[in-house]
């Protein structure tokens, strides 16, 4: 694919992910951020982001009077900013004409008081809670900064406040990270989220940029499940969900994969369904620096620009050019992409393995005292070079999808036989 063609594919409405702060009241073992004393993003920076994103997205409206900006407020822990901060956000949004803002907020929930929950409900902030399962799973990796309280109990208190104000019949929205410690607990994992009445987004453990440093390669996959382990976990989870008539719990990835089997025309733009990997999702740190991926947010040298001086169109062109360069160097050619040889490639859109290799090469260049742009000269580490899929979990996902197809066929056979 030419640079022009790739760049054109990034001329899409932007979806800002705004890191309200890099500070956090948790110290999760697998977090890729350094919780430095960055403070809260200032309102002038927020206004610059919202105004420029609105201008960019408004240009995409075709035959409509109004555009939309969908915003994801992240951290660190975004609730550290306080209710007054989000009241000011609403004031800024109200000043921007011809744009509808849709606000999402991802939180560990520990700071979600009843008043905070009521505010979010009144102003239609869509919350997502970070929770990995029952306490014996969750508290292995999610920990409070003070280390005295159970992170599970702190998050559940926030969820209880949320439930008092949630719409009737709504599920509790959750992102759950799946590590090696989750793999043999599919039954407990499912039962817990069913009891909670949750809508779960599965987040398979990501290798962090720190894991890719030359001196960290020995423990590269310490927390990442093996492909066979993840496949077994996902198949058991799917079977419990697919054959459960109560349907008091939903799993977004399982539902999307079921849609892929039932409706072959379904097209997902997100690699491995990771929302942050979609072309429009763009990361803004508290100082206004802009990043192609939130894995880079604590590394200013990898910023693709600054919202205070760059237009969103310029930022998106730079993001597209960076991605095109990474793919050209690491994949060598579009024909070498594993997705092109996979039955599900057109639908699934791959994953993050290419970026993992880029990150490792970038860190290797720095370890050699070379400037960042010399990353192209570095070899892919052998432990990553041996992985040939688009994501470390490609075979696990293919196994899941084969199982889903078989499960659907069996149900159809039973229906036709009755």
Q: Is the pLDDT of residue 215 over 60?
A: yes
Work out the percent of the chain whose per-residue pLDDT is above 90: 57
* Contact (Cβ atoms closer than 8 angstroms) between residue 290 and residue 284: yes
Mean pLDDT value across residues 361-374: 93
A 10 A CB-CB count for 369 gives 7
A 10 A CB-CB count for 133 gives 26
Query: What pLDDT band is residue 8 in, cutting at 50, 70 and 90?
Result: very low
Task: Name every residue whose Cβ is closer than 8 Å to that of residue 107 and which is 6 or more positions away in sequence.
Answer: 77, 78, 79, 127, 128, 129, 130, 158
Domains and CATH numbers, the chain: 3-7+14-328 (3.20.20.70)
* Contact (Cβ atoms closer than 8 angstroms) between residue 332 and residue 309: no
Pairing of strands 126-130, 99-107: parallel
Which region among 124-128, 229-233, 337-341 has the lowest average model confidence (pLDDT)? 337-341
- Please state, rounded to an integer, the average pLDDT across all residues of the chain: 87
The residue among 36 and 192 whose pLDDT is bigger is: 192
Nearest 10 degrees: Cα torsion 247, 248, 250, 255: 10
Q: Is the pLDDT of residue 341 over 90?
A: no
Give the integer Cα–Cα distance in Å for 140 and 135.
8
Give the integer Cα–Cα distance in Å for 138 and 178.
10
Give the integer Cα–Cα distance in Å for 162 and 172.
8
State pLDDT tens for residues 287-319: 999 999 888 888 899 999 999 999 999 999 999
A 10 A CB-CB count for 213 gives 16
Q: Decide: pTM greater than 0.95.
A: no
Which region among 26-35, 66-75, 335-344 has the lowest average model confidence (pLDDT)? 335-344
Give the integer Cα–Cα distance in Å for 325 and 86.
38
């Amino acid at each position: 694919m030419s640079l022009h063609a790739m760049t054109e594919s990034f001329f899409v409405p932007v979806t800002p992910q705004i890191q309200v702060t890099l500070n956090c009241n948790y110290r999760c073992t697998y977090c890729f951020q350094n919780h430095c004393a960055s403070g809260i993003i200032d309102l002038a920076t927020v206004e610059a982001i919202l105004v420029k994103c609105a201008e960019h997205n408004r240009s995409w409206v075709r035959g409509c009077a109004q555009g939309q900006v969908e915003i994801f407020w992240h951290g660190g822990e975004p609730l550290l900013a306080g209710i007054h901060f989000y009241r000011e956000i609403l004031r800024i949004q109200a000043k921007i004409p011809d744009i509808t803002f849709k606000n999402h907020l991802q939180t560990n929930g520990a700071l979600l008081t009843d008043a905070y929950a009521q505010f979010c409900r009144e102003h239609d902030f869509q919350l997502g809670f970070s929770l990995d399962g029952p306490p014996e799973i969750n508290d292995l990796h999610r920990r409070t900064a003070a280390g005295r309280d159970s992170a599970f109990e702190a998050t559940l208190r926030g969820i209880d406040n949320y439930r008092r104000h949630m719409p009737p019949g709504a599920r509790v929205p959750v992102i759950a990270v799946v590590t090696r410690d989750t793999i043999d607990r599919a039954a407990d994992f499912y039962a817990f989220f069913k009891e909670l009445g949750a809508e779960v987004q599965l987040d398979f453990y990501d290798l962090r940029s720190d894991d890719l440093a030359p001196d960290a390669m020995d423990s590269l996959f310490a927390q990442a499940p093996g492909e066979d382990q993840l496949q077994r976990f996902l198949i058991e989870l799917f079977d419990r969900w697919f054959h459960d008539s109560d349907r008091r719990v939903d799993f977004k990835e399982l539902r999307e994969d079921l849609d892929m089997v039932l409706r072959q025309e379904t097209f997902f733009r997100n690699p491995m369904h990771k929302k942050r990997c979609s072309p429009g999702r763009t990361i803004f740190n508290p100082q206004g620096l802009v990043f192609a991926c939130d894995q880079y947010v604590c590394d200013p040298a990898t910023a693709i620009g600054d919202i205070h001086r760059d237009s969103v169109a310029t930022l998106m062109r730079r993001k597209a050019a960076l991605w095109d360069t990474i793919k050209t160097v690491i994949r060598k050619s579009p024909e070498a992409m594993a997705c092109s040889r996979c039955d599900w490639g057109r639908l699934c859109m791959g994953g993050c393995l290419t970026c993992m290799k880029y990150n490792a090469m970038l860190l290797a260049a720095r370890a050699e005292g070379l400037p960042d742009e010399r990353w192209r000269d570095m070899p892919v580490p052998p432990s990553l070079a041996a992985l040939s899929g688009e994501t470390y979990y490609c075979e696990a996902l293919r196994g899941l999808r084969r199982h889903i197809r078989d499960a659907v066929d069996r149900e159809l056979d039973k229906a036709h036989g009755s």
